[in-house]
Amino acid sequence: MPDRKGLVAGNWKMNMRRADGIALAHAIAERAKEPHACELLVCPPATLIAAVGEALAGSGVALGGQDCHAAPAGAFTGCISAEMLKDAGCSHVIVGHSERRHTCGETDTDVRAKTLAAWRAGLVAIVCVGETRLEREAGGALAVVAAQLAGSLPDGATADKLVLAYEPVWAIGTGLTPTTADIAEMHAAIRARIPAGTRILYGGSVNPKNAAEILAHGEVDGALIGGASLKVEDFWAIGQACG
């Protein structure tokens, strides 16, 4: 991955209560004292951002949100703005995760607005794209992702404020993964549509067993990890496989 430092990001999703989350964050911070070639990022649920941030302080492990609202503030019950994430210590935010696209009905237009919000607040936006199983089986994966990119990415993207995450919907939480060749093909297609130097993560059932092969490919700049990010040894092993 020339000129693109590896990034391994843990998306805790709607998991972890206070004691478990703080313990995991301390364990990650402890591990991160050991040599590692990649950047590490943890995205806890909103309730734990402040506490996890305290536990990670000084470790070099970055803190991120899992979503943000497009507006900076206002009457949006239950929502969190990018400015609030920044204020809570975040440097990154995931936008357009398929669980939000599919269960919350988020559109490319929403994802685009959230990406702009992230940049407005000074956060790096991790923009997620990926096809469903039916779309891949129909031979439409590349076209679907190209359309998501066209709709989700605002003008003005630069490599320092944007990370792409290719996450095939059918691979998330299923134990299934595309072949490394399929991942590389998709990453190359994405790379042709984003600024030079922008990192592209692969996400979807990454675990300590498959990480080395996936992350060894020059097209893959890191991983966005769900389930395996909830165990320090798995998260660390994937981090060690990167870069």
Which residue in the block uniquely carries the two structure tokens 């070639």? 37
Q: Is-catalytic flag, 26?
A: no
- First vs last Cα of the chain: how many Å apart? 8
Contact between residue 67 and residue 100 where contact means Cβ atoms under 8 Å apart: yes
Q: 70 or 165: whose CB is closer to ligand PGA?
A: 165
Show the tokens assigned to 156. 């003005």
Is position 203 an interface residue for ligand PGA (rule: CB under 6 A)? yes
Q: Which contacts qualify for 50-56: CB closer than 8 Å, 24 or more apart?
A: 50/88, 50/89, 51/18, 51/21, 51/22, 51/25, 52/21, 52/22, 52/25, 53/88, 53/89, 53/90, 55/22, 55/25, 55/26, 55/29, 56/25, 56/28, 56/29
DSSP letter at 61 equals -
Per-residue binder mask for ligand PGA (CB under 6 A), 54-93, x = binder: ----------------------------------------
Minimum distance from residue 176 beta carbon to ligand PGA (Å):
9
Is position 224 an interface residue for ligand PGA (rule: CB under 6 A)? yes
Among 66, 81, 198, 205, binds ligand PGA (CB under 6 A): 205
Minimum distance from residue 184 beta carbon to ligand PGA (Å):
19
Among 227, 234, 236, 241, binds ligand PGA (CB under 6 A): 227
Q: 149 or 214: whose CB is closer to ligand PGA?
A: 214
Catalytic residue (one of 92, 97, 135, 219): 97
Among 60, 72, 122, 173, binds ligand PGA (CB under 6 A): 173
Nearest to 48 by CA among 10, 77, 96: 10
DSSP letter at 7 equals E
Residue 101 CA to residue 131 CA, distance in Å, equals 11
Q: Is-catalytic flag, 97?
A: yes
Q: 53 or 130: whose CB is closer to ligand PGA?
A: 130
Question: How many chain residues are in contact with ligand PGA, going by CB under 6 A?
Answer: 13
Minimum distance from residue 229 beta carbon to ligand PGA (Å):
7
Residue 240 CA to residue 243 CA, distance in Å, equals 8
Is position 6 an interface residue for ligand PGA (rule: CB under 6 A)? no
Catalytic residue (one of 83, 99, 135, 167): 167
DSSP SS3 for 160 = coil
Residues designated as active site: 97, 167
Enumerate binding residues for ligand PGA (CB under 6 A): 11, 167, 172-173, 203-206, 224-228
